[in-house]
Structure 1
Amino acid sequence: MTSNWMKMIDACSAAALASGALQPVQVEQTEMEDGGMRFIVRWVSSLAVKDAAAKAAIPGGPRDPDFNPFLKPDPELTVGPIGDEHVVILNKFPLCERHLVLARREFEEQLLPLVRSDFAALAIIMAEAGGIGLYNGGTAAGASQRHKHVQWMPEAEGNASLQLFAPGLPADLPEQGVATHPALAMKHCFVRVHCGKGVAVDLAADSMAAGFARACDELDLKPGADGLLPPFNLLVGDGCLLVLPRSQEHFEGISMSAVCFAGTLYTRTSEQIEAVRRVGPLQAMAAVGYAA
């Protein structure tokens, strides 16, 4: 596959940065070790800017059901359509370079089960550039928008990655095989899937969709009468898919989204870094899930 997507993303990013439509992160960070694993905890001052923008928005901000930045996305942040049902949008407040939102072109609730087309959109980007796919299922899982969307971040030093957990998972786990990690005290399920740089899009989309269904079965994560799933996070990359049911959004005031379960925790204040340090990243993660 050619590098067309990355070229388009970089060109859109450069223009949006020049115009001010893209507001890059400003971070201070520290490293913590927990359970023999390395975590990065970052204070992202641009999240405070995002909070201020939400309060000033009319109507009332990103949690207002009438406010939808993905149905008619900002043209300056829109890269273009991808697959049959999605559009690639630059995250206005990116946590890293090339931080993308892959939103459905028509409105769907964020807590509807993920379907093959959601994974196909991810697979197109991942086949070209690898990286990690992220999904925040509902407000309690860190979602700030109801409009169904997945996110993508590239592989880079300091970025979220499921490689963090690789040493604790069976090396010989077959495709669609399931496992749990001994360091995670919350309910979760890893599934081995085909995905990543160079993996055929159809193969990856089929494998990720099947892996998600397998994880939901293992965790008894089923839609309610309204068709919506209970809150959960999904992460996929490096040949693994991870699903974690969520009991609440916050630990000590810190909104915990999917990215926090891949080695990078983001806080809105420097004081919140110390809250994570007091208990350790693994306990902070477990506090927003269900006991395993």
Structure 2
Amino acid sequence: MSDDLLHRIDCTISRATESGALQPIRTEQTLIRDAGIDFTVRWVSSLAHKDAARVSAATRRIPAFNPFLPPEPELAIGPLGERHLAVLNKFPVIERHLLIITRAFEEQTAPLTHADFLALASVMNVLGGLGFYNGGTEAGASQRHKHLQWIPQAGESAALSAFTDRLPANLPAGAVATHPDLPWQHCFVRLALEDARDTGQFGELLCDSFRRACRAVGIDHGLNPMPPYNLLASREWLTVIPRRCERHEHISINALGFAGSLFVRQPAQIDTVRNIGPLQLLTAVAHRR
């Protein structure tokens, strides 16, 4: 199953790159350490392409243009259950960056459902990696159509381990924890992998852990629309961060910032991040503890 999914992803990347549907990635990056935590800060040229595409979409005859309904055929990987599709991110920040979109339109601010987590689990249960969600514009979402995202675990990828390595190693499965050195409101939940032997069980585990984390940070997980938040999940941990705003000092922050990976649209903004400090930058767009 994992080989088949990975093969389909790579075949789609190859075809989409050849046709021009997939935008090339050019990055310039640096490592910034803040309070002993390493952050990777990248200038990604594809973000500039993304801004241009959004301006183009806004000036079309139909202002509410939705690139996911339907997605570009060259970017579509295939179904993930009955309600979702796997699609390549046209403007990827990391290689093999996937979008997990609902087949029918749902708002990005709508509550995440069991079906959403089952679709995410169908990728993560076979490929691992990091799943994440930007719950609304203030949380870094650039499209209204509901979509989770996934990136593989690799040396250049974002990872929750930058933060979870400092949590107590003996926390039992299902335990809720906060990181003592993180100044923003958040919650980590330790996942009980022994209770997730297949995709269905892993989806249940992600859904239950998400709801537990929401309760811990004071978010009603069934509210529609939900308040802005970010979600990140690995095979070991899940975290939820309530959001206050989308950017600080012209630097936009999405969920990956809370996994130690920051993206800027201009190389000079790397110095802005260094001067502010990554922890203070993230605190400015979240809620201080």
Distance 1:129 1:108 in 2: 26
Mapped contact 2:41–2:263 kept (Cα < 8 A) = yes
How big is the shift at 1:195?
A: 5.9
Structure 1 gap segments, 5+ residues each: none
How big is the shift at 1:165?
A: 1.2
Q: What is the SS of the residue equivalent to 1:270?
A: coil
1:173 aligns with 2:143: no
Aligned to 1:291: 288
- Give runs of aligned pairs for residues 30-41 of structure 1, distance below 5 A: 30-41=30-41
How big is the shift at 1:56?
A: 2.2
1:133 aligns with 2:131: yes
1:75 aligns with 2:73: yes
Kindly tell me: are residues 214 and 251 of structure 1, through their superposed partners in 2, closer, same or farther at Cα, counting changes over 3 Å?
same
Aligned to 2:26: 26
Distance 1:38 1:200 in 2: 33
Deviations 1:167-218 (A, max 9, x none): 221212222210001121111000112469x952122111110011101111
Distance 2:192 2:54 in 1: 38
1:245 aligns with 2:254: no
Kindly tell me: are residues 116 and 194 of structure 1, through their superposed partners in 2, closer, same or farther at Cα, counting changes over 3 Å?
farther
Distance 1:121 1:223 in 2: 18
How big is the shift at 1:50?
A: 1.4
Q: What is the TM-score of this pair, normalised by structure 2?
A: 0.95
Aligned amino acid, residue 112 of structure 1: A
Aligned to 1:235: 232
Identity, % of aligned pairs? Answer: 48
Mapped contact 2:100–2:120 kept (Cα < 8 A) = yes
Give the number of aligned pairs. Answer: 288
Kindly tell me: are residues 103 and 119 of structure 1, through their superposed partners in 2, closer, same or farther at Cα, counting changes over 3 Å?
same
Q: Which stretch shifts more, 152-161 or 42-51?
A: 42-51
Aligned amino acid, residue 264 of structure 2: T
How big is the shift at 1:119?
A: 1.0
How big is the shift at 1:238?
A: 3.7
Aligned amino acid, residue 68 of structure 1: N
How big is the shift at 1:128?
A: 1.3
How big is the shift at 1:120?
A: 0.9
Distance 1:241 1:16 in 2: 32
RMSD of aligned Cα (Å): 1.9
How big is the shift at 1:65?
A: 6.6
Aligned to 2:253: 256
Q: Which stretch shifts more, 183-192 or 169-178?
A: 169-178
Aligned amino acid, residue 9 of structure 1: I
How big is the shift at 1:57?
A: 2.5
Distance 1:287 1:173 in 2: 29
Mapped contact 1:163–1:238 kept (Cα < 8 A) = no
Distance 2:27 2:197 in 1: 33
- Give runs of aligned pairs for residues 158-169 of structure 1, distance below 5 A: 158-169=156-167
Q: What is the SS of the residue equivalent to 1:161?
A: coil
117, 120, 128: which one pairs with 2:118? 120
Kindly tell me: are residues 52 and 42 of structure 1, through their superposed partners in 2, closer, same or farther at Cα, counting changes over 3 Å?
same
Distance 1:170 1:137 in 2: 28
Structure 2 gap segments, 5+ residues each: none
Mapped contact 1:110–1:147 kept (Cα < 8 A) = yes
1:53 aligns with 2:50: no
Q: What is the SS of the residue equivalent to 1:39?
A: strand
Distance 1:184 1:25 in 2: 31
Mapped contact 1:127–1:195 kept (Cα < 8 A) = no
1:184 aligns with 2:182: yes
Kindly tell me: are residues 60 and 248 of structure 1, through their superposed partners in 2, closer, same or farther at Cα, counting changes over 3 Å?
farther
Deviations 1:25-56 (A, max 9, x none): 21000101112111110011221121122222
Mapped contact 1:251–1:288 kept (Cα < 8 A) = yes
200, 204, 207: which one pairs with 1:206? 204
Aligned amino acid, residue 105 of structure 1: R
